[in-house]
């Protein structure tokens, strides 16, 4: 038993002294070194909303949301009393106007492109409604 005590003490010390390595014998270990960064990180660009979509009428947009747009079938929006589960919950998303316009005019994922199905005025109105009703940013 007395012989095991020194071995039990020395074995962990030996492991610590030799260290652990994932390199193969004879392989050079490269240590990363910091380098000088040249240039700057570009600043985030503000999304631009086309002028034809900037001044929609939220009241008229609610009619589009509930009717021609069929938005409530996929989206939840408390003001419209809709509880769709396919698309994002708009009350939680609170999209800025730029994002709402982009999604309606270009679609993404399950969201179809409504250009050609809705007029520019309907798109301006429904996006203004969604942003205002959800508490999003009408200036962004």
Give the pLDDT confidence score for residue 109 in this predicted structure: 92
pLDDT of residue 31: 73
pLDDT of residue 114: 95
117 lies in which domain range? 58-134
- Tell me, yes or no, whether 23 lies in a domain: no
Give domain status of residue 44, yes or no.
Answer: no
Which CATH number belongs to the domain containing residue 115 in this structure? 1.10.760.10
Residue 14 inside a domain? The answer is no
Question: What is the predicted pLDDT for the residue at 108?
Answer: 93
Cα distance between residue 94 and residue 53, in whole Å: 18
pLDDT in tens, the chain (140 residues): 566 666 667 666 666 666 555 556 667 777 777 777 677 766 666 678 999 999 999 999 999 999 998 999 999 999 999 999 999 999 999 999 999 999 999 999 999 999 999 999 999 999 999 999 999 988 87
- Which residues neighbour 78 within 8 Å (Cβ) at sequence distance 6 or greater? 91, 133
pTM of this prediction?
A: 0.67
User: pLDDT of 109-119, one tens digit each?
Assistant: 999 999 999 99
Q: Domain total for the chain?
A: 1
Phi, then psi, of 82 in degrees rounded to 5: -105, 150
- Whether 22 maps to a domain, the answer reads no
Are the C-beta atoms of 109 and 75 separated by less than 8 Å?
no
């Amino acid at each position: 038993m007395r012989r095991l005590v020194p071995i039990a003490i020395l074995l962990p010390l030996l492991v610590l002294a030799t260290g652990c390595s994932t390199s193969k014998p004879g392989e050079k270990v490269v240590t990363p070194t910091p380098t000088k960064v040249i240039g700057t990180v570009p600043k985030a660009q503000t999304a631009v909303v086309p002028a034809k979509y900037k001044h929609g009428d939220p009241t008229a947009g609610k009619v589009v949301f509930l009717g021609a747009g069929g938005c409530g079938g996929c989206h939840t929006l408390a003001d419209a009393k809709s509880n769709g589960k396919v698309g994002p919950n708009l009350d939680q998303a609170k999209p800025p106007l730029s994002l709402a316009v982009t999604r309606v005019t270009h679609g993404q994922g399950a969201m179809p492109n409504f250009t050609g199905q809705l007029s520019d005025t309907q798109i301006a109105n429904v996006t203004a409604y969604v942003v205002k009703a959800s508490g999003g940013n009408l200036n962004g």
